[in-house]
Amino acid sequence: MVHNVAQMRLSRLFHGMRRTGWRAAGSVLLTIPLIMLSPALAHCRTLKLVAFGDSLTAGLGVGPAESFPAQLEAALRAKGHDVTVLNAGVSGDTLQNGLDRFDWSIPEDADAVILELGANDTLRGIDPDASRSTLEAILKRLQSRKLPVLIAGMKAVNNWGNAAAGQFEAMFVALAGQYHAALYPFFLDGVALKPELNQQDGLHPNPKGVAVIVARILPSVEGLLARIPPKS
């Protein structure tokens, strides 16, 4: 098991209790900032984070251990988080496809969700109003399950025109605010249009590109984990 700083300090504290007694050790306990306690420590169990998306989540063109969910889980565990990241990505999915499979993609024991859908809506030229309506329907379902969510936004393709592209991109910001979801504005930030970080199709990141995505989104994901309420 990976131990973070708080765990090591707690271990020293308990050894101190044996030598000095509970009263003296208790004064040490009060010096440990609560923010240092990882979500896993707070919940005393392995948290389940669902990466719910399309081919960018599924890992099209890369190995299972190189996919976004796999690399994200490794990065989180390296920082001391006891978390499993479930790969619920399906290549080719639009927002509507995600809504259609919501019930069997988000297990009952899920603790939080990263929502990465919308890229195929823009590639297929789906009406931004329809995409917004579907995204809102997904967020309502997540809200009804009381699941904290991090929306991974997407930029529209150039052939949409400025008005439609702006409308598409703005929906992530507007709905994140309306449904109190965390927002990572652009999932491919730092990777899009960089040949060295993408596969030959120019659309899907290679393993190095996925690593860049994970490094950039990691603070937002840690913020998401901190929003997970304790289960009774």
Query: 129 an active-site residue?
Result: no
Which residue is associated with the tokens 């900032």? 33
CATH fold, domain 39-226, is Rossmann fold (3.40.50)
Residue 123 has pLDDT above 80, yes or no: yes
pLDDT score recorded for residue 41? 59
% of residues, the chain, pLDDT over 70: 80
Q: Which of 55, 67, 105, 131 is catalytic?
A: 55
In angstroms, the CA 75 to CA 88 distance is 18
Q: Which of the four pLDDT bands, split at 50, 70 and 90, describes residue 129?
A: very high
Average pLDDT over the chain, rounded to an integer: 87
Query: 144 an active-site residue?
Result: no
Comparing CA positions, the residue from 53, 62, 57, 71 lying closest to residue 199 is: 62
Going from N- to C-terminal start, the domains of the chain cover 1-37, 39-226
Q: Which of 54, 82, 131, 204 is catalytic?
A: 204
Q: Which of the four pLDDT bands, split at 50, 70 and 90, describes residue 97?
A: very high
DSSP per-residue letters across 208-229 = HHHHHHHHHHHHHHHHHHHTPP
Query: 220 an active-site residue?
Result: no
Q: Which of the four pLDDT bands, split at 50, 70 and 90, describes residue 163?
A: confident
**CB-count burial class (<10 Å; 0-12, 13-18, 19+) for 84:** middle
